[in-house]
Amino acid sequence: MTLLLSNEDVDRLLSMRECIDALAIAYRDLASGRGTDRRRSDSFVAGPVEGSLYSLKSMDGIAPAFGVGAVRIDSDVVTWPTRAGNARREKLAAAGGRFVGLVLLFSIATGEPLAIFPDGYLQRLRVGATNGLAADRLARRDARIVGLLGSGWQAGGQVMALCSVRRVERIRCYSTSREHREAFAAEWSERLGVAVEPVASPEAAVRGADVVLCATNTIDHVFFERWVEPGMHLSSIKRPEIEPAAIERADVIVIHARDASPIHVVAAGVDVPEAREGKGWKLLGEIDFTTLPQLHDVVAGTVPGRTRDDQVTCFLNNIGRGYQFAAAGGALYRKAKAAGAGRELPTEWFTQDVHP
């Protein structure tokens, strides 16, 4: 039988700590060459409303440690509005007020589909867990004060992950919306049992912080070199968030993957704002990604992380990997089977007796 799981199932079954542990296991396989994944691919055509594009995004990976392969597919109507001076990537809830993102999980023993579930909750878990895994290797052991730039969906995953690997005492949160940062602070103070304080400027958030978490949907820089302090760990979830001069101040720089950008397949006459010069994927051209260590090498211990408390360390979660969905999805599937969770669908619905 093939399991159909919901976002609520994912949220209930898989904790941030379990996701971090699953990635740690799988990334050691990736470092040794046993695991594999494919570069993310984004295809674009003109969208249904002015200023929008339709995007079909996919990525996949195989995690032998969990016996699975996974494909993650997003079908989106995307816009790039400018808010508070920064251009942002925002999806429209065009599917009847909802969004479309799916993960398909397959057995590497039989090829059959094991599970199908939406990517929303697992997406936040895998991004948070990736940055949490990096912080565990790169942030100071005594890191207690956190500066957070962003107050959206991904920001919640980032603070969950950091609190899973460090004994955080205080989080200062800035975002361009006062209403959003105040609501975020109230929600996450209660959820984490940690003081989350909304602040009125990015400088107030990052000044004196042991760890700075960038968790935005911007395609412009939001953290700058003048804010770097000795001993800081800098963390981003998108390539453009930290300006190059700040990255170059770091003594240790680790990236998620060597791919500088997704494969972009664009219809004739279509302009993708995040691929323009001076925006999104075209930023950080000064950084040679081919020379930097990848997270899986640090996790495997073949590349050192932080070696001194006064070092500035930086993790760039520069691009997502399909491999994350295989690793986290494999851990989720094991828990779902053990708990009897989800709805069982006949596997015959998704297989065939015709040789393709």
pLDDT digits (tens, 9 = 90+) for 222-242: 999 999 999 999 999 999 999
pLDDT at 127: 98
pLDDT at 24: 97
90: Cβ–Cβ under 8 A, 6 or more apart, which residues? 78, 79, 80, 81, 217
Q: Look at residues 281, 315, 280, 302 and name the one whose alpha carbon lies nearest to residue 128.
A: 315
Per the DSSP assignment, residues forming a β-bridge with 82 are 87
Per the DSSP assignment, residues forming a β-bridge with 235 are 213, 315
CA distance 13 to 3: 14
307: Cβ–Cβ under 8 A, 6 or more apart, which residues? 252
Backbone φ and ψ for 3, nearest 5 degrees, come out as -85, 135
Which tokens sit at 133? 């895994």
* Side chain identity at residue 333, one-letter code: Y
Domains (range + CATH), the chain: 2-122+322-350 (3.30.1780.10), 127-316 (3.40.50.720)
pLDDT at 348: 96
Count Cβ atoms within 10 A of the Cβ of residue 201 and give its class: 0-12 exposed, 13-18 middle, 19 or more buried: exposed
pLDDT at 83: 83
Query: Chain centroid to CA 123: how far?
Result: 7
pLDDT at 104: 98
Count Cβ atoms within 10 A of the Cβ of residue 95 and give its class: 0-12 exposed, 13-18 middle, 19 or more buried: exposed
CA distance 290 to 260: 9
Residues (pLDDT < 50) of the chain are: none
226: Cβ–Cβ under 8 A, 6 or more apart, which residues? none
- For 169-192, write each residue's pLDDT tens digit: 999 999 999 999 999 999 999 999
